[in-house]
Structure 1
Amino acid sequence: MGNNYNNCGCYRKENKHEEKAYKVKCHNHEFEASTDFEKDDEGRIHNHRIAGVTGPAIKYGKTHVHKVNELTDTFDDHFHGICETTGPAIYLPSGKHFHVISGSTTVSDGHKHDFYFITQVEDVTNVPEDDKC
């Protein structure tokens, strides 16, 4: 059977006969959001934009999560880092899913920002095999 990881590091279950066999296909999610508003060290109220793509799926119980490691946009010569793990997959009736993520940015310019958002539903790596580019 070999190991339980495919070539991009995503976990998979190889026992096809196991009842309710669990399988996570290798995929990522896009996201786009804003932080909350905070004052910088000069008292200016502002927020930041966050956009990016999650890391690949990571097995988590009977579901999976993703790592997010990005930088915010820049406001008045400063930006913040984000390094968090999404919550587990939340499935829709269509079988597709999304993830919730929340946390705080790194401190920069004397402050940090909180954020709370969901990933996009579509799988950015899921290109139909019959689609010839």
Structure 2
Amino acid sequence: MGYNFKKGKNYKEHYSGNNQCAEKCVLVKNHNHEFLSSTDYAKDEECIIHNHRIAGVTGPAIRCGNSHVHKIETLTDTFCDHFHSVCDTTGPAISLPGGKHIHLVKGETSVNDGHDHDYFFTTLIEDPTNVPNDKDC
């Protein structure tokens, strides 16, 4: 299944209203991911060009097909007395060497102060500080 990266189309369109995949979904190994990024630049109602920072932690994993996704709900930082909400669902896991993975997230913030912002980022790897039991600290 491919994903449409055109403006206004994001991963949540591929999932039901409760943010679960339209296919059979069950929770997978409990984990989450940190994320941090910046939005694109936009003009507010006073024509001031600016962007916002986004940071947070995803919700737990939700199985979707042969992979899983995560729900993201957070607020951007504040600029000139306004901020935006970010509510989205990540894409499926992207495998990395060593058995770790990340997720891609692309979408738009809420409209506040007469504008919205696009964002496009990856989550950080899951459980980055996990030390295997056979390793000494």
Could you say which TM-score interval applies, normalised by the shorter chain? 0.7 to 0.9
Match of residue 74, structure 2, among 57, 70, 74? 70
1:94 partner SS: helix
Sequence identity of aligned pairs in percent?
65
1:106 aligns with 2:110: yes
**AA paired with 1:83?**
C
Q: Call closer, same or farther: CA 1:109–1:57 in 2, change over 3 Å.
A: same
- Counting only pairs closer than 5 Å after superposition, residues 84-95 of structure 1 correspond to structure 2 as 84-95=88-99
Contact 2:31 2:126 in 1 (8 A): no
Aligned residue pairs total: 110
Normalization by structure 2: what TM-score? 0.74
Select the structure of larger CA radius of gyration. 1
Gaps in structure 1 of 5+ consecutive residues: 1-9, 12-23
Contact 2:38 2:54 in 1 (8 A): yes
Return the structure number with greater relative CO, CA threshold 8 A, min gap 6. Answer: 2
Which residue in the other structure is 1:28 paired with? 32
- The 3 A distance-change label for structure 1 pair 66 and 119 is same
What secondary structure sits across from 2:30 in the alignment?
Answer: coil
For structure 2, the residue ranges without an aligned partner over 5 or more in a row are 1-25
Measured in 1, the distance between the counterparts of 2:79 and 2:113 equals: 10
